[in-house]
Structure 1
Amino acid sequence: MIDRSPDGAAVWEQHSRVRVVPPVQPRKLAKVPFVELADGRLQGVVSSGSDISRVYVSSIAAGTHAYNCSTNNNRPCGGLYGAPCKHLHALAAEAVLQYGIGRVARYLQVDVPEGASLMGCLSGTHESAPAAVVFSRFLRHLAYLEVPDTTVPIPELQWFPAAGVVR
């Protein structure tokens, strides 16, 4: 249920901040430091198991389940041999921890029977997807970790229009 103000707008729409929903289960951020359901994809950044300076941008499209995995400098993942690589499996596992299997399955538009794995229910094929936007968003999130705690508005977020303001 969404809390509503007297004018009918959702309460969260009248604030400059949105309540952060905690993860369904605790996550280990070392392997998959960034995961999101955005732009019609489950997407995120997955650390390389062999090179500490390399990360992969992995994604699975909603509906078609087309998948992609490439390094942060757009080189294709060597593990894509006609099936999703280990980075995509790690991304899906962390998304389930973050959002819960039900929410991820609904977003990807897939039925996951009780006890089945999310990746086992997907039937997509490899298809190139943009990695730069996801990696850029990840870097922006990292920058927010360095912002000191404050109760005052952050200037770069002030461009959001206030509800009900007509200009």
Structure 2
Amino acid sequence: MNADPTAWERRSVTLVVPPVQPRKLAKVPFVELADGRLQGVVSSGSDIGRVYVSFIAAGTHGFSCSTNNNRPCGGLHSSPCKHLQALAAEAIVQYGAGRVARYLRVDGADSVESGHDLIGRLNGGPEQGAAAVVFSRFLRHLSYLELPATSAPLAELHWFPSTGAVR
């Protein structure tokens, strides 16, 4: 097969790295390695209308968890809460233990096997987080799911520079 390696540059969609394992999205609908953090959205176990925005910073291992309207998580103290533990576990399902641990710069990254193991190797503490930014990214991803499939450019992404000829 002689596929054009630059064909993705002419589409409004791009290849997505497939998950290491299939993920169930009910508990952790959004997880990403971005902005120097493992970050995502975790559903509340007690209230269907509440979600928690959680992150673990790479390097410092500072962590944060709050509701989508910036109320602090009641389980967050000097160690990560159950939402952060769920986020770490789902990140490992999505990206693989080694990749997540290396991204977070955890000591002995290549020997991390589970979310619990990863959480146990963190050496940071609670810190203030940018919940609104992560939650907005989650909502933006949800809005893309409502669009019909197309190879035409998306108007809101049309401002990205093109490698084609200048018009």
**TM-score using structure 2 length:** 0.87
Q: 1:124–1:39: structure 2 CA closer, same or farther, 3 Å change rule?
A: same
**Structure 1 residues without counterparts, runs of 5 or longer:** none
Aligned to 1:50: 46
2:145 corresponding residue in structure 1: 145
Please state how far the C-alpha of 1:150 moved relative to its aligned partner. Answer: 1.7
1:87 lines up with 2:83 in the alignment: yes
Q: Cα distance, 1:164 vs. partner?
A: 6.5
Counterpart contact for 1:13–1:163, Cα < 8 Å: no
For the Cα contact (< 8 Å) 1:12–1:18, is it kept in 2? no
1:76 aligns with 2:72: yes
Q: Which moved more, 1:156-165 or 1:88-97?
A: 156-165
Whether the aligned pair in 1 keeps the contact of 2:39 and 2:53 (CA below 8 Å) is: yes
- The alignment of Structure 1 onto Structure 2 pairs a total of residues equal to 159
- Aligned letter for 1:56? Y
> In structure 1, how many angstroms separate the alpha carbons of the residues matched to 2:125 and 2:156?
39
Aligned residue for 2:60? 64
Over the residues paired in the alignment, what is the CA RMSD in angstroms? 2.0
Residue equivalent to 1:33: 29
Task: Looking at secondary structure, tell me which structure has more helix per residue.
Answer: 2
2:101–2:112 contact (8 Å) kept in structure 1: no
Contact 2:98–2:112 (CA under 8 A) maintained in structure 1: no
- In structure 2, stretches of 5+ residues that fail to align are none
128 and 99 in structure 1: CA distance in 2 versus 1, 3 angstrom threshold:
same
Distance 1:151 1:114 in 2: 39
C-alpha separation between the residues in 1 aligned to 2:112 and 2:42? 27
- Whichever residue aligns with residue 45 of structure 2, its letter is G
Q: Counterpart of 1:158?
A: 158
TM-score (norm 1): 0.87
Runs of 4+ in 1 over 4 A off after TM superposition: 164-167
Distance 1:114 1:161 in 2: 39
Cα 1:59/1:115, change in 2 over 3 Å? closer
Q: How many percent identity over aligned positions?
A: 69
Query: What letter corresponds to residue 144 of structure 1 in structure 2?
Result: Y
